[in-house]
């Protein structure tokens, strides 16, 4: 997929509208994780260095088309100003005429942050009038919000009908790395899948069945695979309607010569909670009414061994309930192992997996940590993302 980028368009003395994904986790008015903000700074600085007026737009949370005070962009604009070491103009107004007046007063290199796009119902409905209105703010549109590129919203897809539209540096990097993974990965390729549901990962598994050498299954979704093999999994989460699918996927993997490994032992808890009584048991000895909360040490050792022989590792989804300290070992130690590998391309598929790596402080030792959650999954499934497809081709 070859899309034009900020390198392929003249932005000198132009006003550039940049769609970023600053939908960050907040707490008490503060920012819990600013990795998404930092990810777009190279694009912002590139535009500044090329004498552009930079107008940033994003959403935050789900305000449902109305103003929600706790979801204003002001804390993010303030934090961005610290990261850029310069003032960031914040507009708490959603009136386009007022915003246009402020944009006209900007100097080249200035940065302006618009208010939460989803305060306007036209954003999620991709309303043509709203698309035209936000398009009137700029000369060029830059898509740098990979995490929202799978949505056909006004600021991701509709805007491209009104402005020449190109990829930012972050989106260009995401496209490049994920395309290489899906089209020409260096083998052996190990795919690690976790998280709650097999239904969330079906498309990824099916798209990689002709590319992957080893498939490792952990997290809540492992329960469905275990039950499909006839194991009693206690009160653990299971998608009963996906049991035939799990059996089919295991059969296809075997037919394709893929090594598919599910847990041999698990950490179980008497109830679902951070301080629950816990045991590590083999999968044929899970107590009735207990819950699978993490992979066990034997499984973890197997997973570590498999990734150590890989040339490429793709990981999406935690190995257990890593938010609870007592059930985080599988996710934490596997992440640490990936961070220690040399000469291996390691790619993490965003979401909870990225949170785990960020919390360990080893993101800089991973080849690429995707900023997308659903967008990354859809890309890896082979789907076209509206916010990417609408950009100008090379």
Catalytic residues: 36, 197, 351, 374
> Closest Cα to residue 96, out of 141, 48, 59, 136?
136
- The whole-angstrom separation of Cα 382 and Cα 206 is 10
Which strands sit side by side in the sheet containing 291-295, from one edge to the other? 278-282, 265-269, 291-295
- Neighbouring C-alpha atoms within 13 Å toward the C-beta of 310: 29
Pair of tokens at residue 204: 């990824």
Handedness of CA 357, 227, 378, 131 (dihedral sign): negative
Six token digits for residue 246: 């799990």
For 314, residues 6+ apart whose C-beta sits below 8 A from its C-beta are 181, 185, 189, 190, 191, 192, 208, 347, 349, 380
From CA 200, how far away is CA 377, in angstroms rounded?
8
Q: Count Cβ atoms below 10 Å from residue 231 Cβ, excluding itself.
A: 19
Count of CA atoms in the C-beta half-sphere (13 A) of 373:
13
């Amino acid at each position: 997929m070859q899309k034009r980028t900020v390198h392929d368009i003249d932005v000198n003395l132009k006003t550039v509208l940049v769609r970023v994904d600053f939908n960050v986790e907040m707490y008490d008015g503060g920012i819990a994780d600013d990795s998404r903000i930092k990810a777009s700074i190279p694009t912002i600085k590139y535009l500044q260095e090329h004498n552009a007026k930079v107008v940033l737009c994003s959403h935050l949370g789900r305000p449902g088309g109305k103003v929600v005070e706790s979801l204003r962009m002001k804390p993010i604009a303030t934090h961005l100003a610290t990261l850029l070491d310069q003032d960031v103009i914040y507009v708490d107004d959603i009136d386009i005429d007022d915003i246009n007046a402020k944009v006209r007063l900007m100097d080249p290199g200035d940065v302006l942050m618009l208010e939460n796009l989803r305060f306007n119902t036209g954003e999620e409905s991709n309303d043509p009038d709203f698309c035209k209105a936000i398009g009137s703010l700029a000369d060029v549109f830059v898509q740098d919000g990979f995490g929202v590129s799978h949505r056909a919203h006004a600021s991701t897809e509709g805007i491209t009908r009104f402005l020449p539209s190109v990829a930012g540096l972050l989106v260009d990097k995401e496209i490049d790395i994920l395309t290489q993974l899906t089209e020409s990965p260096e083998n052996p390729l190990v795919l690690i899948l976790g998280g709650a549901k097999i239904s969330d990962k079906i498309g990824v598994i099916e798209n990689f069945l002709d590319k992957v050498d080893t498939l490792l299954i952990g997290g809540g979704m492992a329960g469905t695979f275990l039950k499909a093999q006839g194991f009693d999994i206690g009160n653990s989460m299971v998608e009963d309607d996906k049991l035939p699918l799990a059996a089919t996927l295991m059969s296809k993997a075997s037919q394709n010569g893929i090594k598919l490994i599910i847990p041999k032992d698990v950490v179980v808890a008497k109830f679902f909670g951070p301080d629950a009584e816990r045991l590590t048991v083999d999968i044929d000895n899970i107590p009735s009414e207990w819950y699978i909360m993490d992979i066990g040490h034997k499984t973890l050792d197997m997973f570590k061994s498999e990734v150590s022989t890989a040339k490429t590792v793709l990981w999406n989804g935690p190995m257990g309930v890593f938010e609870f300290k007592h059930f985080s070992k599988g996710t934490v130690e596997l992440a640490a192992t990936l961070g220690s590998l040399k000469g291996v391309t390691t790619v993490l598929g965003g979401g909870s997996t990225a949170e785990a790596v960020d919390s360990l402080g080893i993101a800089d030792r991973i080849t690429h940590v995707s900023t997308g959650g659903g967008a990354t999954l859809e890309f890896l499934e082979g789907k076209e993302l509206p916010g990417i497809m609408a950009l100008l081709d090379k």
